[in-house]
Structure 1
Amino acid sequence: MKFKKCGFLLFFAMMFCFAIPSFASAAVVDLLEGKTGTLGSKEFKNMTDGNKSTYEKVYTKEPIMFDLGDVYNVDKFTINESKGTGSENPATLHVKYYDSNKKVLADYTKFAFTEKINDVRYISLQYNYLNPIWVYEFKVYGTTDKVTDVENLKAEADLKQITLSWNNPDTPKFMGVNIYHGSRSLGKLDKTKNSYIVKGLESATEYEFTIKSIDENGFETSGAKTKVSTKMPVLPPPDKVFVTPQNGKLVIAWNGVSSPYLQGYNVYIDGKKINDKPLTSSKLAVNSLENDKSYKVQISAVNKNDVEGEKSKEVSEKPSSSALEVEYDVKMPFSPLDLLTSSVSLLAILGGFVLLSLAIIWFKPLKELIVKAVRKGKEKK
């Protein structure tokens, strides 16, 4: 009896030991994340892109097909897992599993269901009850011992660098990741790392990065991708601000900020912004002010991302009833170029007379000839 009991315990221990690796080698993942559904020539990406804010309006009698790319054992599916389906009616809803030959293995008419189905290659979704259903998330969970793409890839942008972070696959065959900027390799990280800082980038520029998982044989997955733009520079204030007092108003002007990222300027009087949207000019007349009262003026620059920079130094001035009124934004009747052109033309006309006078004065034969001609003219008369 003792021998049988010991044999049973030994058998149980061996089974337990062999079972542990099998459990550890399989990871539960969302098999649809990053996959594209198709219906004829139309593609559906937003409900499987991992973004809870994007969605697809599903309203079709024909199935939207998703190819898992390989055969998997599926455990469950969910629709709008985070937001919930609320009062949506699952009538006419169909979620189907297919094998590699597109033979239907299971057909569900619910928004979520848990059931283990083996050897699933394709999954479809269709719905056409009254109005379209907005699908933010369509997730299908399954187990696999294969290395999958990293999940929850995020990018945090700064002015000249981007920080990437992600969740690594939970499988012993996962060895690390390769990081790419476009098609250019940025480096390789081992499986203990789940973040990377890309430095030396241009500001206000869009970049695309791909994180590819590596298995024990060195093979890469297709990769998780993200697009992100570096931040736009915050602009300095104008270096000089000029305030001219007038009767009941102040005329403010400033040196423009030279930058391709400039959207406009904000003007502050006593710390309060007085314009609704950034000004595109570098001059402003502020009316309805109290004479002999001091006002503090500041200017700031705003970039094209609506980010405002620091304010300029305060410039104080008082409107005055005795101030000399100056007309601003009045176009001159002629430009400096017009003045120069007119002067040259006048000089050309007068120049001939001046040269002739000089010739008469300094060239005696010419002078005598002119005098004789005048005398002969008088004698004939």
Structure 2
Amino acid sequence: MKKFLFCFLFGLFIAAVYHQSAYAAEPEYYRVIDKSKPGSELSLNVNYKVGDTITVDFKQNLDWYSLRLNGVDFKGYKQISTRQVLTFQITQEMYDNNPNHIVLTTRGGDTGSRVTVYSVSLGDKLLYPFVQGFNGGLIDGSNDVYYETKAGSHSSPTSKVTDDDFNTFIKFDPDNYPYIKQLRLSHLGSKNSPANVNYFRIYTDSIASSLKIEVYDPVAEVNKSWTVTPEYYKGKPFEIEGFPSYSSHVQIKGFQKDDKAYAINFYDTVPGQFKNISDVEYIASDDSVKFSYTLPENFSYLKVWVNDQLKKDMVEDSSFELNQLIYDSSYNVKIISYSKDGGISSSYRTVVKTKPLQPPSDITNVKYKFDYKSLHMTYDLPKDDNFSHLEVYKNNVQIRSKLTEPELNFDDLQPSTDYTYKVVSVSNRGIRSEGYILSFKTEEYKDEVPPEKPTGLKVTNGNESLVLTWDKNSEFDLEGYHVYLDGKKITDKPIKSNMYTLPELENGKTYQVEVSAIDMSGNESEKTSKYGSPNTKGMPVFKAGYSLVDVSNGVGSWFSSLWLLLAFSVSIPLAFYISHRVKALFFA
């Protein structure tokens, strides 16, 4: 237990030393002087004399607390707990108390009296804070900075705020106020030479509660802005996220009357800051992005944020991969590198986009044939790893799904009709291909199928005649029947009836009779065949041309002399005879 406790405390000590060394070189941009904390006073080693002008930019914690210089209370300060700038002259008492130093302490004896000092100037010379130079930025010495009355109105170019000289400045003249009120950059970066802006620095004596950076992003087509608070007025780097890579409208607003701006600059990295990775490249898939880059000297590790969430905590290699991403989506990536001695780089930011999901290939080697009512297709299925199945559409209506066979058959088409078939490949994640499209028009209808041959053919032997009957065919497109005698077609055109009489034949002779069916397309069925032999015992047939009156008169003359004797004996058989012969008359 003692060993564990010792190791734990030693680890805390090492961490504290590491943290101290990591940030020991961090510049001080303001000083909080606290009566309760010895050593918090601000001591400046400087040569000065009685009558010199001192300017102090400070903020009291409470209304009644203020500052003392070399043990002498400030005179003329405002009893307010807001920021104020006080200018006065060195008195003899101040000089006598410490002729080689200017020491600022708090006034008042109660615990908790605190004053924040932002700057101290002796005449035009800045004594505190010890501001680092503004060179090393993106607009060093540029004459592309303008001070203007308002956007789009009178403006004048100047290099007074980009020359890294704190003796030159732009003053927002009270005689012209509120007309001269903002700074503008004519451009920052371009399409061909983009600027990677991560930080903004300004040195100003402004007592405004905040300044604002405004920029138009031509890519996103939106206005963007950032608020700069007083703690950044003395050169402390202000980190900017989402600054466009180029813009012709960069404005710095919010200055008050009598304010002076001494220096401004924009930076990729702050001068002296540990460098970040370089030569960054990435390769995106539909669900991952792989980064590769060059490591800086003294590199220890890096951290990666995606959409402001920490995703990689301790990357020590020259590459990393982001996984489980959503396809066809954009991600904001931020990378910060850390050195072996605790230095922290500026942020490297970029936007990456995953690829959309790729569909499988379409079917290939397609072969097809069609007629007036059917379509037959064969093809090769896609060989992609992500292929799952096919979907088939007919005239934009899905008719098949989850098809995995290499062929298609349809036999329900209509003659002389336009059709468009599309065969779509579907991936295992539901992504569909453009589809293979086949458009065609079916052929005209050509009926080449004959009817079934007639059945149930019966032959009745008559006197010098044969009477044929058969069963009716059931085809919907049946035109009629043809009758053949000894191989010769007797009917000139198809007859509709399923009964037919062959007259004027020779009794005692055997005849072959045949019947075939005919459809509307002229297709003729096979013939059904029978044999018959007329004889004198059969019923005679009336020749064509006799009318019903002729039949009636003939029958009457034939039986007139015997009518009374035979009337009752032959009336019934005669009725059957007449009926039978009348049928033969009309169907002969």
TM-score by length of 2: 0.25
Q: Which has the larger radius of gyration?
A: 2
Q: Greater RCO between the two (CA within 8 Å, min separation 6)?
A: 1
Q: Which structure shows the bigger proportion of residues in helix conformation?
A: 1
TM-score by length of 1: 0.35
